[in-house]
Each structure stands twice: as C-alpha cells, then as structure tokens.
Structure 1
Amino acid sequence: MTTTKTTTTKDEREDLSYFTLTLQSFLNESFPELANDKTFIEERSELAAQTYADALLAGHTHPEASELSNEVLYEGLHFSKFDMLFKVICNEFDSQMPDDELRPFAMKMYPLCTDVFSKYSTNEPEFADSADYELLYTELTGTVAIHIEENGLW
C-alpha cells in the first residue's frame, strides 16, 4: 500500500486562516463591495494575525489579543451601507416579496443606490445616530419605491 504525503503550502494555510475566513464572511454579509478585494482581505487578515501574535508575546490573554486583533480586522468598517439598504427593504417592502427574495433584491438594488449614499458621510462611526441617518433612510426608501414602480415589479 502506498501512501501519498500531502503538503500544505503557505498560501493554502493563509487562505484558511481564521482571520481571512472571518473577514471574508463579514464582508460577504455586510460589505459586498469589498468581498472580492483579495488584496484588502489578505493585508487586513495578515495584520490582524500579527496583532494577535504580538499581543500574546506582550503578555496579553487570548481574549485580550482577540479583541486587539478584531479592532485591526474591522477597522473602518463601522457602518454598512448594504446593511442599511437591506434594513430599509426588510422594514418597508417585506410585505411585497417573500423573505427569501429580500436579500437578493437588496443585492440588485445596492449598485443603484450609490448616488444616494454618496450624498452622506457614512464613514463616521456616529453616523447611525445622526439626523442624516434618518434622511438617508427616507431617501433610500423613495429610491427603492421608485425603482419598483418604474420597473413594474409589483
């Protein structure tokens, strides 16, 4: 009987890293515009892994190291435009389509809403608590409603 030794390359290990998988899942869910940005994912994941290792070497506990690495992993990803659009669609249009169609519809609408989002400074961590958030919510609702009406979707 012959056995074959399989080796895992460094690239394959990195592809399967906890930080890469965690970030990829998060981006797929909330930041679809970044989900295919392999450079961003690789750089951010490597930085988070290094932060975790450095924190442990510095004497931090595993939970503390995890918290520090998560700060690095999710830096600048405070507010998800897609999540907001999905919330608008779920809250305002859920009676017009089956639940399993809400997310696919949001994915289709997302590129059509870039002009709406461009009018607001959504990068600020406190944006979700601002008056502009409510204005954006209303504008997104109108944009979706107009798209539905103009395209005879319901």
Structure 2
Amino acid sequence: MTGSGEITADYYRRRLEEFLAERHPQLTGARELVATRSNRAYAVYRTTLAQGFSPLKATARADAVLYEGLIFSRYDLLRDILATDYPQIPEYQLRPLALQLCDICAPVFGSFNLDDGILQRREYGTLVARLREFLQEYVSQHGLFVRLRGRPRNP
C-alpha cells in the first residue's frame, strides 16, 4: 500500500517476494514469476473493485492469483520435519539444510500430487511419513553434517 492506503502492483510484488523468501527460498530470484503474478493480482484487485465488490473480496481474489500453486512448500515441510525430528540441528542451519534436502528428497516428492490442496488430503500424512522414513535412512547412511557454532571441531 502507498502512504495514502492505495494498493498498487508494487504492493503485490513486495508481498510475493516476502512470501517466496520465507516459503520458497529457491524461487527468490524468479523475477518473471514475481512480475507476472503481482501485475495479474493487481489487475484482479482493480477489476473486482470496479465490479462493485468490497476491498476484502477484491483482496481475496487477488491473493488467489498471487499465491496460486505456491501454498504447499517442499522447503517448509522439510524444515518442519528437521526441526521436529532432529532438535540437535541449530536453528541457523535449518534453512540451508532444508534447501539441500529438497533435491535429495525429490524421489519422495515425485510420488505425490503436490498441488495447493495436498494439505487437506489424507495423502499429506503419507507424504510426511515417507519423508521421515527417507530422512532417517539418509541420515543413517550419510549423517547430518551439522557443526554447532562456537564449538571446536574434533581432530
């Protein structure tokens, strides 16, 4: 929003950039995606207002366009599993490790339809269970290369 409270395409751009940085860090440099989505969201917002709908309804429709296909995040899920199942991993290492594991866990993710609705389907529980099993196996074979900050390395 601008200082006067008016919503602009730049407002949607900033919101999407912040969302991607938090939930899809691998997409933070996706300038075309951000530009296209933010312009479309702004157009939907303006059109919905012009049709006589409330700003709340216009915002909801614009958000649907802005975040379509981005609600589920592989990164978020892996980060949550790591934080829960491996509490020895320091907070500052969760992000880079989860990003690295996104590629490593691709075979597990490839077995599921990862659209925006997966969070409401029963298969989401199966996905989480399979990821946990995969990570347990991966950690047992490769270990987690986690070094705590401020601690000396073992010789």
Of 117, 120, 138, the match for 2:129: 138
Distance 1:75 1:135, change over 3 A: same
Deviation at 1:89, TM superposition (A): 1.0
TM-score, normalised via structure 2 length: 0.77
Question: Which residue of 2 is the match for residue 9 of structure 1?
Answer: none
Question: Which residue of 2 is the match for residue 61 of structure 1?
Answer: 54
1:77-102 deviation line (CA, Å, top 9, x unaligned):
232222111121111112x2222222
Q: Give 3-state SS (helix, strand or coil) of 1:19's partner.
A: helix
Q: Which amino acid aligns with 1:120?
A: F
Distance 1:53 1:121, change over 3 A: same
Q: Distance in 2 between matches of 1:152 and 1:77?
A: 31
Q: Give 3-state SS (helix, strand or coil) of 1:86's partner.
A: helix
Deviation at 1:124, TM superposition (A): 5.2
Structure 1, gaps ≥5 residues long: 1-12
Number of residues of Structure 1 aligned to a counterpart in Structure 2: 138
Question: Does residue 115 of structure 2 align to residue 92 of structure 1?
Answer: no
Structure 2, gaps ≥5 residues long: 1-7, 146-155
CA RMSD of aligned residues (A): 2.1
Q: Structure 1 vs Structure 2: percent identity of aligned residues?
A: 28
Of 15, 18, 22, the match for 1:22: 15
Distance 1:59 1:113, change over 3 A: same
